[in-house]
């Protein structure tokens, strides 16, 4: 055989082995996505947001959201929808509820209570830039946008065309 024949034979064998590898190798599996909550946004009646210095309470009445604390008034529905997006969130990471100081969850930065389910937000993971969040006796890594929707100022949640009543 000539050198060109050997070269063609080697290239053909390589192509066959490569095709067999691609056919036989297991397909790439998608990473598991862990559901954060089992609640549905439509069924929620009460929301409470606790920060170190502020506590905000929202309540649904007649399919409309109202702030009860620290001021009273109608709440912008879009803001509530953004807050309730946490209920449909998923996470690629599930961690045991241990070493809470490590995750910044021993004294959470923000606590969100949706009906009877509580969500505690802690530190950021340095590699993924996601935020540690504890709920249902587990720790998840979630996008920081969920904590960002929990406004620092209660008046930011109120509807712009509503008169507010301050409560002491």
Q: In the prediction, which pLDDT does 66 show?
A: 94
Least confident of 33-37, 85-89, 161-165: 161-165
Q: What is the pTM of this model?
A: 0.75
Closest CA to 150 of 167, 131, 129: 131
Q: In the prediction, which pLDDT does 50 show?
A: 94
Residue 43 has pLDDT above 80, yes or no: yes
**Per-residue pLDDT tens for 12-35?**
889 888 887 777 765 555 567 899
What is the distance between the alpha carbons of residues 167 and 69, in angstroms, rounded to a whole number? 7
**Per-residue pLDDT tens for 129-147?**
899 999 999 999 999 999 9
**Per-residue pLDDT tens for 55-78?**
999 999 988 999 998 889 999 999
- Rounded mean pLDDT, 108-120: 94
How is the chain split into domains, by residue range? 34-166
The answer to whether 139 and 120 have CB atoms below 8 angstroms apart is: no
Q: Which residues pair with 154 in a beta bridge?
A: none
SS3 103: helix
- What distances in angstroms separate CA 35 from CA 16, 40, 75, 87, one per listed residue? 42, 12, 27, 8
What is the distance between the alpha carbons of residues 157 and 80, in angstroms, rounded to a whole number? 8
Share of the chain above pLDDT 90, in %: 48
């Amino acid at each position: 055989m000539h050198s060109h024949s050997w070269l063609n034979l080697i290239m053909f064998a390589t192509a066959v082995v490569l095709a067999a590898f691609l056919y036989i190798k297991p397909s790439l599996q998608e990473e598991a996505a862990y559901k954060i909550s089992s609640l549905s946004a439509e069924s929620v009646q009460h929301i409470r947001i606790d920060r170190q210095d502020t506590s905000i309470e929202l309540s649904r009445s007649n399919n409309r959201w109202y702030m009860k604390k620290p001021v009273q008034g109608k709440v912008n529905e879009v803001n509530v929808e953004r807050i309730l997006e946490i209920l449909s969130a998923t996470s690629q990471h599930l961690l045991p509820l241990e070493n809470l100081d490590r995750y910044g969850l021993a004294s959470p930065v923000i606590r969100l209570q949706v009906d009877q389910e509580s969500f505690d937000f802690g530190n950021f993971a340095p590699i993924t830039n996601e935020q540690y969040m504890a709920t249902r006796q587990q720790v998840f890594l979630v996008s920081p946008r969920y904590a960002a929707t929990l406004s620092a100022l209660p008046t930011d949640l109120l509807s712009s065309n509503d008169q507010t009543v301050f409560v002491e």
